[in-house]
Amino acid sequence: MRVFDDRPCSLGEGPLWHPERAQLFWFDIPAGKLLSRRGDKRFEWTFAEMVSAAGWVDRTRLLIASESSLFLFDLETEAARAIVPLEADNMVTRSNDGRADPHGGFWIGTMGKHAEPQAGAIYRYFDGQLRRIFAGISIPNALCFAPDGQTAYFTDTPTRKVMAQPLGADGWPEGAAQVLVDLGGDGLNPDGAVTDAEGNLWIAQWGGARVAVHAPDGTFLRAVSVGAKKASCPAFGGPELDQLFVTTAQEGYDAAGLAGDPLAGQVFHIAAGARGRPEPRVRL
């Protein structure tokens, strides 16, 4: 993998390729920053709270998850407008992984700011309603969706299990989630994930310096090496959606740790050998 952007993030997360702007966005969660790059031009916005994930609403507006709300942000005017509170009365938690589903909903996970066990949850925002889907989550990750919109995927990273949740016609969960991928025997930590056009899951493995590819039935297919150990989340982008972008992190490193992982926190990219899908638009 090559370095796409060398600005080091403490905790890079939430990469989003905006299909109308042909532009990659991502976050440095502890710094409260939204970062972006288009060609040689770099962008950066800083907020008063931690921010972690976004979906696109139209060409200029993103729905962004912060530690206390979902809010609308205009990239050109920089105007922000609160949409709905997100555990605003809970000072322990912040938002983490999030992604839009094929129905136009936005899924977002929360977690303890110090990864307190079972302090978080997973929510879905759809048609003006924020509903809690799962409670008692420690580190929500891998939120992504089958291309047909009939299955959602997620993980609570410490369990090392990626779950498959059946969805109904309007995108709300129906029935019980089942284990799709169990990495416990390998000691691997699933982090952010995305699906490609064939429905395969591309799962970043925190500490593993790679993104693993699994078939829709959970079968391991291959792995793509990343240039830093703490791979946090992948995204497809580029004109043909055949480039894989991966955020990484410096979190938890001292000077010796950084010396052993010198590109930690930077964003990487590589020709994926597969094609992704345009990220769905969020319906407000």
229: three-class secondary structure by DSSP: coil
Instruction: Note the pLDDT of residue 267.
Output: 98
Instruction: Note the pLDDT of residue 62.
Output: 98
- Angle formed at CA 108 by CA 107 and CA 114, multiple of 5 degrees: 160
Cα–Cα distances in angstroms (integers) from residue 260 to residues 27, 32, 210, in the given order? 23, 26, 16
DSSP state of 273: S
Does an H or E element contain 257, and which?
A: helix 255-260
Cα–Cα distances in angstroms (integers) from residue 2 to residues 5, 42, 57, 131, 254, in the given order? 9, 17, 30, 39, 24
The Cα 277–Cα 197 span in angstroms is 5
- Residues making up the chain, counted from first to last: 284
261: three-class secondary structure by DSSP: coil
Residue that is written with structure tokens 């729905």 in the block: 63
The question of whether 97 is a catalytic residue gets the answer no
Q: Is 35 exposed, middle or buried (0-12, 13-18, 19+ CB in 10 A)?
A: buried
Distance from the first to the final alpha carbon of the chain: 36
Q: Which two tokens stand for residue 259?
A: 């010396």
The Cα 79–Cα 66 span in angstroms is 15
Q: How many other β-carbons are positioned within 10 Å of the β-carbon of residue 114?
A: 7
Instruction: Note the pLDDT of residue 259.
Output: 97
User: Domain map of the chain by residue range?
Assistant: 2-271
Q: Which of 191, 196, 254, 261 is catalytic?
A: 191
DSSP state of 145: E
Cα–Cα distances in angstroms (integers) from residue 92 to residues 36, 109, 210, in the given order? 28, 14, 30
The CATH classification of domain 2-271, taken from the options 3.40.50.1110, 2.40.37.20, 3.40.309.10, 2.120.10.30: 2.120.10.30
Instruction: Note the pLDDT of residue 95.
Output: 98
Q: Which parts of the chain sit beneath pLDDT 50?
A: none
